[in-house]
């Protein structure tokens, strides 16, 4: 099934793995660890999650936003979990249907106590591969605040190329900031 020409069918459930991490659909029971992880100042500083972040925010995310985006054919929102224990490690997303056909946009966070172990870059690699295959994308972008050194490092680790800085292009929590565009192209 290809999704690049529009939403022909509801996508099949996904489960992506490289043996190091599993990316699977969010489940109601994930709300607890998502709530804990999203208390992190880094996640609140660099992503669009609500701040302060409550259990109700997590329940809405895993129970409503993520499944409806998948059903609508607009985005894959995945829980990143340990393949053996099933422990929650992080979050990854790939918007694959808007605003430019064939161009996806990815995002991610890793639970604070599971960082610097390759979780984000592994999850990003998996959704990019899925995007180039199942979703028929030819380009995936990351829009990163240039001050976010960790996220820039993840992008470079996963083969993204910096294409430049759009000055004052973003606004987060009412504060205007620069946006660095990273992209990877389908081989």
Binding site for ligand COA (CB under 6 A): 42-43, 46-47, 107-110, 115-121, 144, 148-151, 153-154, 157
Query: To the nearest whole angstrom, how small is the minimum distance from the Cβ of residue 71 to ligand COA?
Result: 25
Backbone angles phi, psi at 149, to 5 degrees: -60, -40
Residue 133 CA to residue 57 CA, distance in Å, equals: 32
Sequence-distant (6+) residues with CB within 8 A of 93 are 75, 76, 77, 78, 106, 107, 108, 127
> Which is nearer to ligand COA, 3 or 124 (by Cβ)?
124
Taking the mean position of all CA atoms in its chain, how far away is CA 145? 15
Nearest Cα neighbor of 20 from 105, 95, 112, 125 is 125
Query: To the nearest whole angstrom, how small is the minimum distance from the Cβ of residue 10 to ligand COA?
Result: 29
> Which is nearer to ligand COA, 62 or 91 (by Cβ)?
91
> Which is nearer to ligand COA, 13 or 19 (by Cβ)?
19
Residue 77 CA to residue 72 CA, distance in Å, equals: 12
Closest residue by beta carbon to ligand COA: 153
Query: To the nearest whole angstrom, how small is the minimum distance from the Cβ of residue 34 to ligand COA?
Result: 12
> Which is nearer to ligand COA, 35 or 110 (by Cβ)?
110
Query: To the nearest whole angstrom, how small is the minimum distance from the Cβ of residue 156 to ligand COA?
Result: 7
Helix (H/G/I), strand (E/B), else coil: 153? helix
Residue 69 CA to residue 183 CA, distance in Å, equals: 22
Query: To the nearest whole angstrom, how small is the minimum distance from the Cβ of residue 140 to ligand COA?
Result: 13
> Which is nearer to ligand COA, 70 or 160 (by Cβ)?
160
């Amino acid at each position: 099934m290809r999704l690049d020409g529009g939403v022909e069918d509801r996508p099949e459930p996904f489960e992506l793995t490289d043996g190091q991490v599993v990316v699977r659909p969010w489940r109601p029971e994930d709300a607890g660890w998502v709530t804990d992880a999203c208390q992190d100042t880094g996640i609140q500083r660099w992503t669009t999650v609500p701040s302060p972040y409550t259990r109700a925010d997590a329940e809405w995310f895993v129970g409503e936003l993520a499944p409806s985006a998948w059903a609508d054919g607009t985005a894959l929102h995945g829980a990143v979990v340990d393949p053996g224990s099933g422990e929650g490690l992080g979050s990854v997303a790939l918007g694959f249907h808007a605003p430019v056909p064939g161009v996806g946009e990815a995002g991610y966070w890793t639970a604070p106590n599971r960082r610097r172990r390759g979780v984000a870059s592994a999850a990003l690699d998996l959704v990019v591969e899925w995007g180039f295959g199942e979703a028929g994308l030819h380009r995936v972008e990351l829009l990163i605040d240039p001050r976010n050194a960790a996220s820039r490092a993840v992008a470079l680790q996963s083969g993204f190329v910096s294409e430049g800085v759009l000055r004052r292009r973003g606004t987060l929590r009412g504060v205007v900031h620069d946006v660095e565009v990273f992209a990877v192209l389908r081989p």
